[in-house]
Amino acid sequence: MLKRLAGACLLFLIIAICSGCSSLAYYQQAVFGQIELLSKKRDLVEVLSDVSVPLEVREKLRLAQRLTTFAEARVGLPVGSTFDSYADIDRPYVVWNVFSAREFSLTLETYCYPVAGCVAYKGFFEREDAVRFADERKAGGYEVYMGGVTAYSTLGWFADPLLNTFIYRAEEALASLIFHELAHKLLYVSDDTTFNESFATTVERYAVRLWLESEGRSETYQEYLAGQERRQQVIELILKTRNLLAGVYEESTSDENRRLAKQKLIAALQKEYQDISDNWPNGSEFKIWMEQDINNAKLGAVGAYQQWVPAFEELMKQSVSFDDFVTEAEKIGQLAADERELRMVSLTSLHKPM
């Protein structure tokens, strides 16, 4: 592992040096952040036998073991050495992602890296670095959204550990996260964040259903479904607002008129959310998200993770098995970007909630 880490670090630094000083600084923080994370991880067997580790942590780690075993044996997700260790990094998030977009555009800025390709955000291991970069983008005229991330996948380059940032989650939430991150190892298309995240979200939902059913927890599964339905209601509102805003931005009118229309649409989104959430018997999906400022970058971030979920759910319904679903998703992933989008739009038009 150390040889592989050293090799990757050297590769990143060489690329950064060739790209310029700003890239060098960014890759340095990425390299040293990854080194810090890996240096703190401990083998899971060792942690579970250590009585100085809080009992709650050990119980959650045993649950994670059961989840990864299930993911590999029953779902078919590639586990390998992923999540066979644990690291307490003594902070609430492992990285902070910064999304940015122009005032009259819903297209997120993209950043390209070795291995991962181009993605619609820039990630930092230190919050201060993320805040500094976000301030730079704001000064450059961009709208910015910054969010803490509790987990991410290195796509098999390293054996990603379980982290204190997410291990305390409720069972179905921990299952969702583990299945989601493992799904990235199953299929990852370079330069297409929306495709990758929507695929992983679809696999996550499918695997959680199988998990809860296997545990005989039908009541929990119904609660999970209700939560997913609430989330989907809000996501549809957000995506509708994005589509309306896209139309506003394309109009031949003054910037002042665009700003006014934008404010009205965002206010309408918040009002519609309040109306539907008032009717929920429980749950508060997106409550904090809605209460804070909403801009193009924030709207784009939601789209990046959810836009093609209906398309993938439709593809799953059309597939005879999970393996068949993955095969068909891989075929779509191999298409040129414009053809891929057309295929996803076509699937979305056929979708009815599962």
Is residue 313 included in any domain, yes or no? Answer: yes
Q: Which residue has the higher pLDDT, 220 or 273?
A: 273
Per the domain annotation, does 269 fall within a domain? yes
Asked whether residue 108 is assigned to any structural domain, the reply reads no
Residue 302 lies in a domain: yes
More confident residue, 101 or 3: 101
pLDDT for 19 equals 41
Asked, for residue 48, whether it belongs to a domain, the answer is: no
Between CA 327 and CA 315 the distance in angstroms is 11
- pLDDT tens readout for residues 49-95: 999 999 999 999 999 999 999 999 999 999 999 999 999 999 999 99
Among the residue ranges 20-24, 109-113, 242-246, 316-320, the one predicted with the least confidence is: 20-24
Q: Return the SS3 of 118.
A: strand
Instruction: Tell whether the model's pLDDT for residue 139 goes beyond 50.
Output: yes
Task: For residue 298, tell me if it sits in a domain.
Answer: yes
Phi, psi of 336 (to 5 degrees): -60, 155
Domain count, the chain: 2
Q: Given pLDDT bands bounded at 50, 70 and 90, which one contains residue 14?
A: very low
105, part of any domain: no
Answer whether residue 278 is part of any domain.
yes
Mean pLDDT of 299-328: 91
User: Does pLDDT of 9 surpass 60?
Assistant: no
DSSP 130-195: HHHHHHHHHHTTEEEEEEEES----TTSS-PPEETTTTTS-HHHHHHHHHHHHHHHH---TT-HHH
pLDDT over 70 (residue 4): no
Integer Cα distance of 96 and 127 in angstroms: 6
Query: Alpha-carbon distance 153 to 61, whole Å?
Result: 18
The helix/strand/coil state of 101 is strand
Task: Tell me if residue 244 falls in helix, strand or coil.
Answer: helix
Say which DSSP state 87 is in.
E
Range of the domain at 8: 1-39
